[in-house]
Amino acid sequence: MRIITANLNGVRSASKKGFFEWFGNQDADILCVQEIKAQLPDMTPDFLKPHDYQGYFHYAEKKGYSGAGVYVRREPDDIVIGWNNTEFDAEGRYVEVRYGNLSVISVYIPSGSSGEERQAAKFRFMADFMPHLLALKAEGREVVLCGDVNIAHKEIDIKNWKGNLKNSGFLPEERAWLTQLFDDHGYVDVFRTLDPRAEQYTWWSNRGQAYAKNVGWRIDYQIATPGIAAKAKTTSVFRDIKFSDHAPLIVDYDHAL
């Protein structure tokens, strides 16, 4: 089972840069996307059903903002749009597909970088989302949480960690939230388990020469419950083509849908 997650920074923009042609050659079972920045009227047939994959989407009420989706090769047993949080369901941040007891989720956790108001919203999201993830695990579901988490977990996950200790995305409270999810509640950082190397990033600022110099952050994840995480075999970050300010994260699992 191959799962890909990618923040598109606009589905229309990524499409113009060849994202869907690339996706068609990946032999993926599931593609999770975030920040589609589109509503249903904006979605062409190529966006809704590329290469005979079926897409399921959570659109933000605000135009040109946020949005998440999941493309699947095989029809799921169930689809869940949103996670019963009125504030953030209005922002289009959650799509879950279910196959038996496996849940694959595309999530777009808010960024707090624009100021205190959005940072407070990010903390509200995190506080309410943790119990949701724990409830899924407690139900006996295997979960693969894919998406832009907007948090670099450890110093190895960000190039300029010293200069970002007080910045959104690397705040102590944010990093502690991930540590709690991993160490206290048993979820697994799949990429880091398979690839312990430094300087493996998934996002780069558009300022300066950040991309060319690999001055990046690892903020896109596949986070899984232990059972399915143990079946993860290979992982990679695709950087050969720049579809957005994020790079797609690919994980292959020894698991058949």
Lookup: tokens for 42: 């904006």
- Residue 15, H or E segment: helix 11-16
* 46 is known as an active-site residue: no
* 246 is known as an active-site residue: yes
Options 148, 189, 220, 252, the catalytic residue:
148
* 255 is known as an active-site residue: no
CA distance 217 to 73: 30
Annotated binding site: 7, 35, 148, 150, 245-246
Options 246, 252, 253, 255, the catalytic residue:
246
Give the distance from CA 113 to its chain's centroid. Answer: 17
Options 56, 108, 201, 221, the catalytic residue:
108
Q: What do you get for the CA distance between the two ends of the chain, in Å?
A: 7
Annotated binding site for Mg(2+): 7, 35, 148, 150, 245-246
Active site (catalytic) residues: 108, 148, 246
